[in-house]
Amino acid sequence: MEKPAKYGGRPVREKPLPTVDDISGRAIGEEEEKLVLEVLRSGRLFRYVGSKVAELEREFAKLMGVKYAVACSSGTAAVHAALAAVGVSPGDDVVTTPVTDMGTVAPILFQGAVPVFADVDEDTCNVDPRSVERLVSKRTAAVVPVHLFGFPVDMDPIMEVAEAKGIAVVEDCAQAYLAEYKGRLVGTIGHLGCFSLQQSKHMTAGEGGLVVTNDEELAQKAALFTDKGWARWATVHGLEPREYALLGLNYRMSELQGAVALAQLRKLKWVVERRRELAERLTRRLEGLDYVKPPPRYSWAKPSYWQYPLQVDLDRLRVSLREFAEALRAEGIPCSAGYIGVPLYLTKVLRERKTFAKTGFPLVDNPFYGRSVEYKEGLCPRAERALKRLIVVPWNEFYTPDDVDDIAEAVEKLVKYYAAQAR
Helix, strand, coil share (%) of the chain residues, nearest 5: 40, 15, 45
Range list of H helices, 244-358: 255-265, 268-286, 314-317, 321-330, 348-351
Burial pattern 322-341, b for ≥16 Cβ within 10 A else e, equals ebbbebbbbbbbebbbbbbe
Average pLDDT over residues 234-247: 84
Kindly report, residue by residue over 261-295, the tens digit of the pLDDT.
Answer: 999 999 999 999 999 999 999 999 999 999 999 99
pLDDT of residue 109: 98
Contact between 161 and 129 (Cβ < 8 Å): yes
Identity of the residue numbered 22 = D
pLDDT of residue 361: 95
409 burial via Cβ count (<10 Å: 0-12, 13-18, 19+): middle
Angle among Cα 328, 24, 187 to the nearest 5 degrees reads: 85
Question: pLDDT: is 55 or 366 the higher one?
Answer: 55
Q: How far apart are CA 56 and CA 120, in angstroms?
A: 34
Q: How far apart are CA 403 and CA 393, in angstroms?
A: 12
Closest by CA position to 362, among listed 68, 113, 178, 169: 113
pLDDT of residue 241: 87
What's the chain's average pLDDT?
97
Closest by CA position to 310, among listed 295, 324, 291: 295
The share of the chain scoring above pLDDT 90, in percent, equals 94
Q: How far apart are CA 389 and CA 391, in angstroms?
A: 7
Domains of the chain: 5-25+269-339+384-422 (3.90.1150.10), 30-267 (3.40.640.10)
Phi, psi of 135 (to 5 degrees): -95, -10
pLDDT of residue 99: 98
Kindly report, residue by residue over 34-61, the tens digit of the pLDDT.
Answer: 999 999 999 999 999 999 999 999 999 9
pLDDT greater than 80 at residue 238: no
Active site residues: 201
User: What is the band of 160 on the pLDDT scale with cuts at 50, 70, 90?
Assistant: very high
Average pLDDT over residues 302-321: 97
Task: Give 268-288 as a DSSP string.
Answer: HHHHHHHHHHHHHHHHHHHTT
pTM greater than 0.75: yes
Kindly report, residue by residue over 97-135, the tens digit of the pLDDT.
Answer: 999 999 999 999 999 999 999 999 999 999 999 999 999
